[in-house]
Amino acid sequence: MSGPEPEREWVIRFLDDLRAAEAASAEVLAAWIAVCALDGLRGGLRVIAEREAAHAELLAERLGEMGVAPSAALAEPVRAAALERFGSERVSDEQKLATLLARYPDDTSATRPITDVLDRLHHDPETREILRLVAEGEAATVAWLRAYHAGLVRPASRV
């Protein structure tokens, strides 16, 4: 078990990286919502985008309480490519869903990076519970998108 100071260092780095990823995700989802052709998918994406933004906001707040200004950012080419693909009207919603879900082959792949940290976070219970609920949110996001995608690609005769 590490002492509070070394833990603080890696926790700060993890929180900042996660915050940057969540903020970028909210931005990309907003671009998708703007061109999304499916009412049901759009409704779900709206909540998921706000969920990601809430995570980013609270993680930034927590970093501030730890005396750290958030500074991590997604690499600009990665961000620009994601915005272009998910904000494109030429790429179908089904293709976008498939692209996104390919990153999460199983139910735990979206949450594992966070749950791994929970087991090592011994000195900051407030941050630990924030992260526990972030992980729950990520799991809910992947589960909803997977269910929606399955409904979209299922042949009508099998419905």
Partner 1 sequence: MLRPLPGSERARVIWLLDAFQAAERAGVEAVGRWIVACADARLRGGLRMIRARDRRHAALAEARLRSLGGVPGARPSRELAALCGVVADPGVSDRSKLELLLGRLPAREDAPLDELVRRAEGDAETRALLETIVDDERATVRWLRGMRDALEREGA
Interface residues with partner 1 (CB under 8 A)?
38-44, 46-48, 50-51, 53-55, 57-58, 61, 124-130, 132-134, 136-137, 140, 143-144, 148
Cβ distance to partner 1 smaller for residue 65 or 84: 65
Cα–Cα distance, 32 to 64 (Å, whole number): 30
Cβ neighbours, 10 Å, residue 140 = 15
CB of 99 to partner 1, least distance (A): 20
Measured CA to CA in angstroms, residue 156 lies from 18, 101, 153, 159 at distances of 39, 22, 9, 5
Q: Are 117 and 14 in contact (CB under 8 A)?
A: yes
Helices 125-153 and 4-35, packing angle to 10 deg: 30
**To the nearest whole angstrom, how small is the minimum distance from the Cβ of residue 101 to partner 1?**
16
- Residue (53 or 75) nearer to partner 1, CB: 53
Task: Supply the minimum distance, in Å, between the C-beta of residue 61 and partner 1.
Answer: 8
Which residue number, 37 or 77, has a Cβ lying nearer to partner 1? 37
Q: Give 80 or 153: the residue with its C-beta nearer to partner 1.
A: 153
Is there a contact between 29 and 48 (Cβ–Cβ < 8 Å)?
yes
Smallest separation (angstroms) from partner 1 to the CB of 9: 20
